[in-house]
Amino acid sequence: MPAIGILAVISGQIDLLLSIDQGGLVNLKARVYDFIHWLMLIGINIGVWLVGGVTIWWFILKLFLLAIIGWQIGIGMKRHLELKISERVAGIITAIVVFSFGLTAGYIRTIDQELLGWGWIFESSTAIIATLIVIKWIWHDIQTISIKAKGYPRTLFPKGIFNNFLVLFFWVHVMIKGGGFDLTHLINNLGLSFNVPFGNIIYLIYYLIYEYHRKKQN
């Protein structure tokens, strides 16, 4: 299910790529933060895959998704906006840090399943960091959408919601399979239990704000 969800995200990002290529205005900083967000998730997948905890398809699909977002950034820098040198350096450093942190977190969490252990600490931290990055790129996108929403294809959002629904279903499956929604199990899976429901709420608010500005501007 997560793999199918990523395919939906890839399709939505291709729609956004085509819009940018046709001159649609989007927020370049938001695309950079989105790139960093997925880069950290790839790091987590590699860390888990090293100890046989996840299929390689998660990594391959996210790598393809990362390439599309990088393509968006390249076209955006060429046609619309130019990042300052300080912003480029900060972006590169941030990307390296979050990728390394995600890689470490994925590896340690897989070999350390203890409640409130180091694996739990790293997993919970990555969930919080990933959510903050998502909030950051959504905030930048909303700044552009509030001025001109036309550059963001409407198809992008239903595909993102579909992905979030599948991930939510996957989270419920993991919780039930692991023992239910009791407090101990929720705490043990704090990273997933925080990131998935909260991420769904954030993205839904993002979509509603887009629809509001789109109708207002039309």
At residue 49, the pLDDT reads 55
Is the pTM higher than 0.85?
no
Number of domains in the chain: 1
H or E segment to which residue 198 belongs: helix 190-217
Q: Quote the Cα angle for 50-70-132, to 5°.
A: 70
At residue 180, the pLDDT reads 72
Put residue 10 in one of left, alpha, beta given phi > 0 → left and psi -120 to 50 → alpha.
Answer: alpha
Range(s) of the domain holding residue 144: 2-217
Distance between first and last Cα of the chain? 36
Q: How far, in whole angstroms, is CA 151 from its chain's centroid?
A: 20
At residue 51, the pLDDT reads 52
The rounded distance, in Å, linking the Cα atoms of 46 and 105 is 10
Contact 59, 45 (CB under 8 A): yes
Query: 217: Cβ–Cβ under 8 A, 6 or more apart, which residues?
Result: 148, 149, 150
Closest-CA residue to 34 (of 152, 123, 121):
152
The rounded distance, in Å, linking the Cα atoms of 95 and 152 is 25
At residue 207, the pLDDT reads 94
Residue 51 DSSP class:
T
Contact 28, 76 (CB under 8 A): yes
At residue 144, the pLDDT reads 92
- pLDDT tens across the length of the chain (218 residues): 778 888 999 999 999 999 988 888 888 888 988 888 888 777 776 655 555 555 677 778 888 888 899 888 888 877 656 667 777 777 777 777 777 777 776 677 677 667 777 777 777 777 778 788 889 889 999 999 999 988 899 999 999 999 888 888 888 887 787 677 777 767 766 767 777 888 889 999 999 999 999 999 88
At residue 82, the pLDDT reads 64
Q: How many helices (H) and strands (E) does the chain have?
A: 8, 0
